[in-house]
Structure formats: C-alpha cells, structure tokens
Amino acid sequence: MLENKVAVVTGASRGIGYGIALELASLGANLVVNYNSSAASIQQLVETIQTQYPMVQVHAVQANVADFTQAQTLIDTAMDTFGRIDILINNAGITKDTLLMRMSEADFDAVNDVNLKGTFNCMRHAIKPMMKQKYGRIINLSSVSGIAGNAGQVNYAASKAGVIGMTKSLAREVATRNITVNAIAPGFIETEMTGQLNETVQQAIKAQIPMQRFGQVEDIAKTVAFLSSDVANYITGQVITVDGGMTM
C-alpha cells in the first residue's frame, strides 16, 4: 500500500513510534527513523525491519527535534538518501508531569520545546520539498490531554493542544498542493509509561474508558497507516481520537 513511499518517523526508538515504523515498513515504505538518545533501541528496530522486510530501506538518524538545525539535518538526510519525503510522522515527545503549583519553568519549556516546537521544526523543514513534489502526508501525534486536559499535565496538555492548532493551520495552507495534515490523539495506550502505573490507578483509569481497557500500540500505528495512504486523500485538518471512547 505504501511501496516506493518515503516516511520519516520521529521518536521511533520505543513505544508508539517504534510500532508506527514497523507498521509502515510492513506496507512497503522506505524509512528514516529518528532517535535522540536510545541508540541500542533504534538499532534493534533497524535490524528487525531489515530482517522482516528485506525490500525496505531503513536509515536511523540521531537528532534532537527540539533543535531547529538538528531537525533540518534529519529532513536533509532523508532527502539526500531518497530524494523525496512522502510521509512525516511527528511522534517525538516527552512528559514532565506535576501539578502546576510545583511545575518549574524549565519543565514547562522542556516539554513544549520537544512536543510543540519539535513538531513545528520538522514540518517547517519538510513542507518545502513536499510542496515541490506536490504530494505529502503529515501526521502529528497529539493526545486526549490536548483535548480534555489532565491534572498534572499543564505543560503536556498545552503542547498537545498546540499541535492540534498547528495541524489545522498548516492543513489550510497546503491543501491545494495535495498535502494532507492530520493529527491523532491517543488515549491510554499500553506502553512502558502506562506499565509503570500501579494496578489501582490502572483500574481507575479504565473505569473512565467506555471500552474499559487500554489501547494497543498497533491501534495507533494502523491509524497512522490509514492517514498515510491514498485511501485517506480527502481527509485533512482532522483530529482522530484513538481512545476507546474516553473523550466522546
């Protein structure tokens, strides 16, 4: 479904980003997978893709997307390697949760630098080649916290709400160039992060979810694959919640 397409996935060394990269590879997309510090994990991802999908080309690029210049290097590497970028998945993100009365300025800035500015940086550098080729699919990872808010996540919710605003604005700017820009807002997904919650907290969260369970990484990855494909070529500026009905 994505043969001969080139996808850049940020924050691909673990969790949702790792799953997205595997899903896109399974559909035939060539990949540039980004990481900041987890070199061992990204190498494992590269080796897995090369073993399972030998026809797919995959390159790992270390870059802190919060840095404008490093984000440009990431996109330039993809262009130098493949000559085009068809799909950009802005997944890189961090959390530094605490109540506002305890939140430091540094914690607020750090989260917004990666989650919000990092998304801007990558879109800013990728949009020019996409406009030249008159084709592109940009999928930004937001969160239900950016829609409904969440106690202890003022910084994270602000960054993810900002991602939604950028998504809709850029979608309007580039719609006539055959470029779609959408966001996915995951709910609680089974990852290392949710695995650290104790059983009591997990059950309390599941009680708020109509489906009464956490989602799987594959639920997000398959939604990304759909939005990346030409099947979704008339969908732009949208926020798709994948949350078991939590924010309906």
For residues 95-120, give the mean pLDDT. 98
Q: The pTM is what?
A: 0.96
**What pLDDT, in 10s, does the model give residues 29-74?**
999 999 999 999 999 999 999 999 999 999 999 999 999 999 999 9
CA gap 87, 83 in Å, rounded: 13
In the structure, what pLDDT confidence band is assigned to residue 133 with cuts at 50, 70 and 90? very high
For residues 12-17, give the mean pLDDT. 96
CB burial string 212-238: b at 16+ within 10 A, e below: eebbebbbbbebbbbbbbeebeeebbb
Of the candidates 187, 186, 171, the residue with the CA atom closest to the CA atom of residue 235: 171
pLDDT at 125: 98
Residues recorded for the chain = 248
In the structure, what pLDDT confidence band is assigned to residue 240 with cuts at 50, 70 and 90? very high
Three-class SS state of 40: helix
Is pLDDT at 121 greater than 90 in this prediction?
yes
Indicate which residues carry an active-site annotation: 156
Domains present along the chain, CATH in parentheses = 6-188+217-242 (3.40.50.720)
Q: pLDDT averaged over the chain?
A: 96
Task: Order the strands of the 6-9 sheet from edge to edge.
Answer: 58-62, 30-35, 6-9, 87-90, 136-141, 179-186, 239-242
pLDDT at 201: 87
**What pLDDT, in 10s, does the model give residues 145-156?**
999 999 999 999
